[in-house]
Structure formats: C-alpha cells, structure tokens
Structure 1
Amino acid sequence: MGLKLFIKDNWSLVVFELFIVLFILSVYWLDGFRNINTAIYTIIISLILTVSYLGVRYFFRHRYLNKITQLPFTMEDALQKNAKSPEHFQTEQFLQELYRVYQHEVQALYATQTRHEKFLNQWIHQMKTPIAVLELLLQEDGPLDKNSVQEEVERLRRGLEMVLMNARLDKFEDDMQVEQVNLKQIVNATINDNKRLFITNRVFPETHIDEDLTVASDSKWLKFILGQFITNAVKYTFEQNKRIIVSATKNESKVTLTVKDEGIGIPKSDLTRVTKAFFTGENGRKTGESTGMGLYLAKEICEKLGHELLIESEVGVGTTIILTF
C-alpha cells in the first residue's frame, strides 16, 4: 500500500522527466547531432538519475507512507513519531496539536455534560421537598394556609430560575445584552422579588445607592447574580432582626457594589471553595437546601460579563460580597 501510494504521489515527476528527455533529444536533433549512441546515453543517464532519486525518496518516506495507509486502532498508533523529513515532521506536529485541541474540547464537553446531569439530579431531589409540603397542605382539613403555599411556590420559582440559568450559561454570548443599567433599580427589583423571603426570616434589607448610578452590564444576568447574593445572605442569617446592607460606591472609572450580611459567616477552610460547582461546605449541610451551584453560577456569569467578584467573611460576624464593575 505504501509503494502504491508513493507511485501515485510521484507519477507526475516521472512524466515530467520523460518530457525533459524528449526535449533534450529534440535539441540534439535540431542542432544536427545524428549520433544515436549519444541519445541512448542521455536516456539511460536520465533514467538512472530519476530512479535513484525516487528510490532514495521512497526509502525515507516508506515508514511514513505505511503509517498513513494503515488505519490506526488506537490514537497512540496514529500519533507515533517516525518522520524523517521537515514536511513530515511538521505534519506530525500538526496532528499532535490537533489531537490536543480535540482532547481539550472533548473534556470540556464531558465536564459540562456531567455538571448538567449532576445539577439536574440534585435539583430534582430538592424540588421534591416543596412539592411534598404543598401536597400535605392540600390534604389538611380547614382553610388553606396561603402564606405557606406562597413560600413553597417561591422555593420552586427560585429553583426553576437557577436550573434555567444553568442551561443558558453554555450559550451565554447568544443571550447577553450589555447596556447601561441603573444599579439602584436592579437592586430594588431584586429585593422586591425576594421580599417574602425577608419577611419569613425577619431579616431587613438596607440600600445605600445613588439614584443615578449606572453600570455597563446585562440587566437579566445581573439581577440573577444579585438574587443569589441576597438569598444566600438571608438564608444563612439564622438570627432575627438582622440586616442585609447593599451599598455602592464610585471611584474614578470603577463602581463597587457591596452586599453585606450579619449571618453566620463562612469558615476560612470553605471560603476559597464556595464558588466551585456543587460545593456546599459546612453551612450548606446546616440548612440541607444548598445545591452548591448559586455562587458557582454567579462567579461564571461575572467572569463572562467582565465583573470582578470578591468574597470576604468571618464566622459569627457575617459575609461581604464585593462586585466591581
């Protein structure tokens, strides 16, 4: 197979060499040389040189030709290095790099698929709780407790929003629309969306943001990020009558948004890992409701939007989340 491929690859060289021989003989003939021995000598020398060149060329190429004419059973078979010419060496380097890129894309795709499957399984398991509570409320005699129903519906809504945002994250660029966003309006809208959560936990929000302060961001994704910060702040504030303080300051070309709570805080051992996927830590095990995806999604969205996210915390004092635009 290697020799057959070599002949196919070099047949044009043989035809060209025959053309050169005929051209030289024609020049001899037109110049008046009628000696047949000279013509035969020219043909023989040309053939010897051509065959010698092709033989040496095939010697250096036969391993490479045999390699590419036999289908590999494993990737290691295809990536064996046996090039003996600059062209083949460059070809093998190209294949090595192509395989590295392919492996990177496959691993990224596998990681994304695994993350989606794990998150979906965990989310479905957690959504069973509010559904079970709603079923129990419906089975009770007497008037329906609307506040309890509303609370469970809010839990379902927040869960659905998170799984939807997780699904959209892979096509973030197609869904992104950066514009000048009024920061106070976004914060107030997020707080209003979670007002029942504040009332239920008896935690009070405070905002200190200028009316005309704007930032370049995507309003929908920014609202989701703030929602994660605020719900976490409320969820991990176990004592009543505590505050969630949201403030913003502008310093030259940067705007800094701070969400500060007076909750239980995050242990130092967990602080560097709270933005990793599915990490719940000590606090997550205390509530039993954490998916470990809220801060992970928030961090991923911040990176895609070009916002800087910093988390500071002290156990027993509270947590401060700093978002820099």
Structure 2
Amino acid sequence: MNKLTAAKFIRDRFLYILTGLFITGLGACLMLLEHARNPALMDLSSMYYFIGAAAFFIVLVLTFDYIRTRGYYKQLHEAIERNSELRTGAIAQSAVTVEQELVVRLLDQQNSTYLNKLGTYRRQQELHNHFVMQWVHHMKTPLSVVDLLLQEAMTQQPLSDEEQHELILSLLEETDRMGKGLEMLLHTARLDKFEMDLHLVKVPLHDIVHEVLITHRRLCIRHHINPQIQGEAWPETDKKWIIVVLNQIVSNAIKYSKDKQGMKHLIFHLDHHDTISKLMITDEGSGIAPHDLPRIFDPFFTGENGQVAESTGMGLYLAKQICSRLGHELLVSSELGAGTTFTITFSPHGIHILDKG
C-alpha cells in the first residue's frame, strides 16, 4: 500500500508529463503550420516521427527516474512502517537529487535532536527516581528517631521539666528535618517548570535574609549560632526561589556548625554597587575538604562531611540550579575546620538567560 507504484509515480510527475506533452504538441502544431504553408518542404511523416520520438524519450526519462528514486522511497516507507529510530545512513545512500539529500539531512538533524532530548529526559528521570528513593531512605531516619523518643518517653517515669523540654526540642528538630526534606522534594519537582513559576522584581535582600533567619531561629539558639546581617542590597530576583537557596545554605551552615563547642558566628555580608549586588554567607563550621570543593554542586555528592551528617547531596545541587536559572552566580570557598563562605552575585544581565540550565 505504501510502496511507490507506477500510478503514484505518474501522479507525482504529472506536471512534468503535461509539460512534455505540451511541448510535443506545440512542435507538432508548428510542423502542421509549416506543412500548410509549404507542403513540398514539410512531410507529415516527419511530424509522426517527431511525436513518436518525443513520446519515447518522455517514457524513457520517466522510467529512468522511477528506477533511480525507487530505492529512496523504499527506505522511507520501511522507516515509517518500523516506526522506530530512522536509519538516515541507509536513506542517504539512496538519495539521488539535491532535494532528497536535503530531506535526508533534515531527517538526520531531527533524529539527532530527538535522541538528545530523549537522552536528557531519561537522565532527568533517572536523577529524579534516584533522588526520590534516596529521599525515602533518609526520611526513615527522623521517623525512627521520633518513634524511639516517644517509646522512651512512654516507658520512663514521669519526666522532669528539663527532660520534657529536651524531648520537645528533639522532636521539633526531627520534624523540622522531615519538613525540609518534603520541601526539597517539592522544589526539585517544580524545577522542571521553573520558567512558569517565576516573578522577577527588585527586592530588599536584607529583609529576605532576616525572614530566613527567623525560620531557623530555634536551631540557631539551640546550637549557639549567632547570625549577623551586615549591609543592605536590592537585587532583581525571584523572592520565593532565592529563599529556597538561602534556606539550604543556612541549613548547611547550622548542620556543620552545631557540633563545634562554644558560640559560632554566621555572617551575612551584603553589598550593593551600581547594578550589581553580592551576598556573602560565612559560617564557622567544619568546612569542606579541598578535594570535595569542585564537586559539592553535583547531584548526590555528599563528601566527607555529608556522609557523617547523613546528607542527601541534593541541597546544594538544587541551590546551584536555581541560581543558574535566575542568572545569579553561586560560588563557594572553604577552609577545612575553619568554615565556609558562599557568595551569590546578582547581576542585571543574568535575568535574560532563563532558558539555560
């Protein structure tokens, strides 16, 4: 049914056939006029020979064209019937005209684009599946801790006020971990539709930092972390997404500072110059090993510190992705055992690269 039959071929070449017949008819008419004007010089038999020769060459050309293009159409129909990845190499060998070669190039480009997008989608799907499985695994830990704390509280004698307070703080810390895990899963899912959930405006960054610190106030007090905000800045960004980034950085700062003894500082230094704003977040935590620094923004990379703190390895990856899509630059510097500094640079030209990342 899909094969190139003679009828289909003639139908596709009908205009050329009609043109050939018109030229042949025009020549025959000119011969008839010449014969009418001077019968002695123009014999009608010559006209018959002309018509016969023209018809023969028309048929010959069509037959030759049919034979040489049959392989090209055959390859196209086989690719359609298989409904699979196009073998453009085989079709290219059968292409005989410039138009057919252009079609083959187009098919090859479309096939390459399709395979690249399919590969990207598969990698994203694998990344998402891996993250969900890892997230479920890590959510078991706070659930187990909550269950253990409740069992101990039920089996022990009436708790003192101090013990009750400690129990409540422990339960709040574990529920906070679960809440942040749920938020990370949600934000990771929304990342695929990032451009549809975006509202860029000029915001007071110092006020946003203050909001983030209020969210983490209880943990800062419990682990003796003293946050300080220095300076002001008004960059152009998306408030809800930059809060996600700041929450992740502050959570990491608390997580890797809480085991240190004594009072620790968490400094937010803001600087606004012309159209460029910078935010530097410096903690006094355990720091990052030099060999781990180049990979901290990779998905699922935990490093030495993350393995101890049961990190999913997705928080900084998510922060980096958000900053990249917002056009902000996120950099990190660290000294092992002394602390870490994250620097976010807000530049006005960055908001025009939202289609990247």
Please indicate, yes or no, whether the TM-score normalized by the shorter chain is above 0.5. Answer: yes
CA distance in 2, matches of 1:161, 1:146: 22
Q: CA RMSD for the aligned pairs?
A: 2.1
Instruction: Give runs of aligned pairs for residues 136-285 of structure 1, distance below 5 A.
Output: 136-139=148-151, 140-141=153-154, 142=158, 145-210=167-232, 213-237=233-257, 238-240=259-261, 241-285=263-307
Equivalent position of 1:77 in the other structure: 87
**1:183-223 superposed Cα distances (whole Å, 9 cap, x missing partner):** 1110010111111221232222111022xx31100000000
Q: Check whether the contact 1:207–1:246 (CA below 8 A) recurs between aligned residues.
A: yes
Q: Check whether the contact 2:302–2:312 (CA below 8 A) recurs between aligned residues.
A: yes
Which stretches in structure 1 are left out of the alignment for 5+ residues?
A: none
Equivalent position of 2:28 in the other structure: 25
Q: Check whether the contact 1:151–1:196 (CA below 8 A) recurs between aligned residues.
A: no
CA distance in 2, matches of 1:263, 1:17: 87
Greater Cα offset, 72-81 or 215-224: 72-81
Percent identical: 34
Greater Cα offset, 30-39 or 189-198: 30-39
Q: Check whether the contact 1:127–1:156 (CA below 8 A) recurs between aligned residues.
A: yes
* Shift, 1:115, TM fit: 1.1
- Letter of the 1:206 counterpart: Q
Is it true that 1:322 corresponds to 2:332 in the alignment?
no
* Shift, 1:66, TM fit: 2.3
CA distance in 1, matches of 2:239, 2:54: 77
Classify the secondary structure of the residue corresponding to 2:260: coil
* Shift, 1:124, TM fit: 1.1
Classify the secondary structure of the residue corresponding to 2:295: coil
Equivalent position of 1:124 in the other structure: 136
Classify the secondary structure of the residue corresponding to 1:75: coil
Equivalent position of 1:306 in the other structure: 327
**Aligned counterpart for 1:96 among listed residues 105, 108, 114:** 108
CA distance in 2, matches of 1:7, 1:200: 86
Which stretches in structure 2 are left out of the alignment for 5+ residues?
A: 347-357
**1:36-87 superposed Cα distances (whole Å, 9 cap, x missing partner):** 3133122112112212322343344232122123247563634423123222
**Aligned counterpart for 2:119 among listed residues 94, 97, 107:** 107
Is it true that 1:37 corresponds to 2:45 in the alignment?
yes
* Shift, 1:283, TM fit: 0.9
Q: Check whether the contact 1:257–1:322 (CA below 8 A) recurs between aligned residues.
A: yes
Count, aligned residues: 322
CA distance in 2, matches of 1:244, 1:196: 14
TM-score where L is the length of structure 2 = 0.84
- Letter of the 1:248 counterpart: L
